[in-house]
Amino acid sequence: MTEQELAQLCCKGDRRAQAELYTRYAARLLALCRRYCKDPDDAHDLMQDAVIKAIGRMDMYTFRGSGSLYAWMSRIAVNMAVSRLRKNRLRFISIDRDDGIDIPDPPPDDVMTIPKDVMVDMVAGLPPMRRAIFNMYCIDGYSHKEIADMLGITEKGSASNLAKARNQLKRQITTYLKDKE
Amino acid sequence: MKNWEDIFRESLEDCTDRLPDGSLEEFQRKLSSPRGRHTLAWIAVPAAAACAALALLLPHHDGGVSVKNVVAEVKEAVEPVPVSPDCVSAPQEDSREPGSQITVPVRKLIAQAPEVTEKSAPAGTVTLEAPFTNAQPGGNTYDDEPDSKETAAAGEGCEDRGISPMAPQDKGVTWVALDKASTRRRGTGVALKAGGGLLGGVGAGLLACVASGTMHGDDIELLADMGPSPRPGVHLSSANSELRRHDWIPFKAGVTARYPLAERLYLMSGLEYSIYGSEVERFLTGKKRQYAHYLSVPLRLDWSVVKKNSFELYMGAGASADFCVAARYAGRSVHKDVLGVSLTAAGGAMWKISSHAGIYLEPQLSWCPGSSSAMPRTYRTNHTLVPCVATGVRFTICEK
C-alpha cells in the first residue's frame, strides 16, 4: 500500500489502515519523541497522541512524494512536543552551569563509537529548552526563526540556548569517552 | 569532514525505537475511545451555556422582572397595618397597574414648582410612581380602595410607619425604596409593608424635610436619581423635573484569572471595575452628570472556540457580584447600597502577551435584575439587559 493510499484509507476511517499506519511509523516517531522527552513513557504518550492527531487531520495531508507522510507526521509530533514544552515552561528551573568557555569538539572518530541509545540519552539529558532547540536546529533542520516562533522566544535566545546545549553535550561526550577509556 | 554534530544527526535522524509491548493495542484503544463524543461535548457545553443564558435573559427582555410575579410576591409580603385616615385619602377606582401614580401634596414645593413635567401631578405636588407597592386586597386602609392613584395628605405620625432613611450622605433626606425585595427584606418589623403607612410616611417625610429646611433643590434632584429602577420602584419627580436623561453604556476593565478545567474549558474569575455614566437635564438645575463606580467579582465558564498561537477567541457565561463602591451626582457623593448581582454572557478575543497572560477585549451582555438597593439610576438600573465592552489583563494559571 502506498503512502497516498494509506492516507486516503485512514482519512475514511479504515481501522486496518490506521493500524498499518501505526505499525509503519510508530517506531520512528517514538525515537523522535524520545529525543524531545526525557521520560520514555512521556515519549510513548506523545508519539501515540501525535499519530492520533495525524489520523484526525489526515484530510489536510497532501502527498508530496515518498517520505512526505512521515515528514508530515513528524512535524505534528514536534509541534506537540514544543506545545507541551511551552505549557510546562514555568515548571522548569534550569541551573545554568555553562561557564561560557568553549569546549573543544570531541574527535569524530571517537564520537562514531558511541552507541545510538547513549546518544539519545545524552540529548534527553539536556534541560528541556536546550534539548528542544538542539533537536530542532541540529537534527530536525528548523531555522532559528522557526524555533523562536514556535517556542515563543527570540532568535538570539534560541542561538544562545543552542550554544549552551552544544557545550553541555560536548562535555558529556568527553566525559563518556574518558570513562570508556 | 564530519564533526560530532553531523554524526549525531545521522545517528538520530532516522533511528527507530522499539515499541513497548501492547503499544498497538493501547493505540487502538485510544483511537477507538470516543473522540467524536469529546468533540460533541465541546459543542454541547457552550450550546448548553448559551441556552441557559438565553433562557434567563429572554423572558426579562421587555422589562426585567415579570409583573405578575412581582405583584404576587408583594401581595404575599405586605401585611396589613392600620393606617391613620388622615394620612391617606381613598381613591375610587381599581386600577392597580404598574405605572399608576400616587400623588402627595407638598405645600412647600408649590412655590418652587410653577410647572411640572407631563407625567407629574398638578403643580405643587410630588408625584410618586408606585407600581406595585400598595397591592393588598383585604387588610389595610387600601383594601377597599385598591386603586393605586391615591392622595396621601401629610400627616403627623405617618413618618414612623413608612420611612426608611436613605439619603445623600451629606443631607438628611428621607427616601423610600419600594420594590419587592426591599419590602420583603424589611420584614414584619417595618411599616414599609403597609402601603398606607408607606405613602403617608413618604408624604410626611418629604414635608418634614422641606419644612425643616433640610431638603434643597439638589436633594430633590438626588432623590430623583436614587433608588432602584423605575420599573419595580418609585420614581419621584418634582418641580425640578427631569427633562432629558442619557445613560451611557458602561465600560469595564479588570484583572482576571482563569483556571483550565479541561482542554478548552476555563473557570474565570477576578476583579473588574466598571463605570456607569449618565447625563441628566433638569428643569431647574440644567445638565448634570452622574457617575456610579462598581467593582465586580465575576465567576464564569469560558469556552475557547479558537486557539491559534497567541490569539484566542472564546465565549462564556456566568454570574457576577457587583459592588457599587462610589456614586457621585454633579460632583457630590451619593448614598449607595452596595450589592447587586448580574448574569453575564460574553464572547471575546484575547491576545497573549506571554505564555500565561493576555489582553482581552470582550463584548458582554448582562442581565441585571431589579436591585433592592438605593442605587443611583444608571443604564444598569434603567435597562434589564446591559451591553458593555470589557477589557483588561487575564492570567491563565496552572495550564498544562
What's the pLDDT score for residue A38? Answer: 83
Nearest to B296 by CA among B259, B344, B260: B344
What's the pLDDT score for residue A117? Answer: 83
What's the pLDDT score for residue B66? Answer: 40
Nearest to A49 by CA among A37, A66, A61, A59: A37
Comparing A114 with A180, which gets the higher pLDDT? A114
Confidence of residue B24 (pLDDT cuts 50, 70, 90): confident
What's the pLDDT score for residue B263? Answer: 76
Percent of chain A whose predicted confidence (pLDDT) is above 70:
93
- Does residue A172 surpass a pLDDT of 50? yes
Confidence of residue B397 (pLDDT cuts 50, 70, 90): confident
What's the pLDDT score for residue B217? Answer: 39
Confidence of residue A100 (pLDDT cuts 50, 70, 90): low
The per-residue DSSP string of B285-303 comes to TEEEEEEEEEEEEEEEEEE
Comparing B376 with A17, which gets the higher pLDDT? A17
Q: Is the ipTM of this complex over 0.85?
A: no
What's the pLDDT score for residue B40? Answer: 56
Radius of gyration of chain B (CA): 29
Mean pLDDT of B298-306: 92
- Does residue B302 surpass a pLDDT of 90? yes
- Does residue B347 surpass a pLDDT of 70? yes
CA dihedral A44, A49, A54, A55 (to 10 degrees): 110
- Does residue B143 surpass a pLDDT of 50? no
Nine-digit cell string for B278: 449618565
- In single-letter form, the type of residue at position B158 comes to C
Does B355 contact A27 at a Cβ distance shorter than 8 Å? Answer: no
What's the pLDDT score for residue B283? Answer: 73
What's the pLDDT score for residue B121? Answer: 41
Mean pLDDT of B341-370: 87
Find which of A96-105, B113-122, B271-280 is predicted with most confidence, using mean pLDDT: B271-280
Confidence of residue A10 (pLDDT cuts 50, 70, 90): confident
- Does residue A57 surpass a pLDDT of 80? yes
- Does residue B190 surpass a pLDDT of 60? no
User: Which tens digit of pLDDT belongs to each residue from B75-121?
Assistant: 544 444 444 444 333 444 444 444 444 444 444 444 444 444 444 44
CA distance B184 to B373: 12
- Does residue B169 surpass a pLDDT of 50? no
Top residue of B4, B24, B397 to mutate, by most chain A CBs within 10 Å, is B4
Comparing B347 with B335, which gets the higher pLDDT? B347
Comparing B75 with A71, which gets the higher pLDDT? A71
User: What mean pLDDT is reported for chain A?
Assistant: 85
User: Which tens digit of pLDDT belongs to each residue from B115-140?
Assistant: 444 444 444 444 343 333 333 333 33
DSSP character for B239? T
Comparing A76 with B223, which gets the higher pLDDT? A76
What's the pLDDT score for residue A96? Answer: 59
Within 8 A of B12 by CB-CB distance, chain A residues are 31, 35, 116, 119-120, 123, 139
The length of chain A in residues reads 181
CA distances from B368 to A131, B48, B63, B349, B375 (A): 53, 21, 11, 24, 13
Does A139 contact B2 at a Cβ distance shorter than 8 Å? Answer: no
What's the pLDDT score for residue A111? Answer: 85
User: What mean pLDDT is reported for chain B?
Assistant: 62
Does A138 contact B1 at a Cβ distance shorter than 8 Å? Answer: no
Number of inter-chain CB pairs under 8 A, A vs B: 91
Tell me which residue in B4, B9, B355 faces A89 most closely, judged by beta carbons: B355
Percent of chain A whose predicted confidence (pLDDT) is above 90:
14
- Does residue B280 surpass a pLDDT of 70? yes
Percent of chain B whose predicted confidence (pLDDT) is above 90:
12
User: Which tens digit of pLDDT belongs to each residue from B25-49?
Assistant: 888 888 876 554 455 555 565 566 6
Confidence of residue B267 (pLDDT cuts 50, 70, 90): very high
Confidence of residue B375 (pLDDT cuts 50, 70, 90): low
CA distances from A76 to A61, A71, B321 (A): 11, 9, 44
In terms of CA atoms, which chain B residue is nearest residue A139?
A: B9
What's the pLDDT score for residue B269? Answer: 93
What's the pLDDT score for residue B240? Answer: 58
- The H-or-E segment that residue B246 falls in is strand B242-247
CA distance B20 to A89: 28
A19 interface with B at CB cutoff 8 Å: yes
CA distance B20 to B196: 85
B290 contacts B328 by C-beta, under 8 angstroms: yes
- Does residue B179 surpass a pLDDT of 60? no
A13 contacts A27 by C-beta, under 8 angstroms: no
CA distance B35 to chain A (A): 9
∠B369-B375-B378 over CA atoms, to 5°? Answer: 75
Does B27 contact A34 at a Cβ distance shorter than 8 Å? Answer: no
B273 contacts B254 by C-beta, under 8 angstroms: yes
Separate counts of helices (H) and strands (E) for chain A = 9, 0
- Does residue B226 surpass a pLDDT of 90? no
- Does residue B276 surpass a pLDDT of 80? yes
Tell me which residue in B5, B19, B35 faces A26 most closely, judged by beta carbons: B19
- Does residue B221 surpass a pLDDT of 70? no
- The H-or-E segment that residue B304 falls in is strand B286-308
B256 contacts B314 by C-beta, under 8 angstroms: no
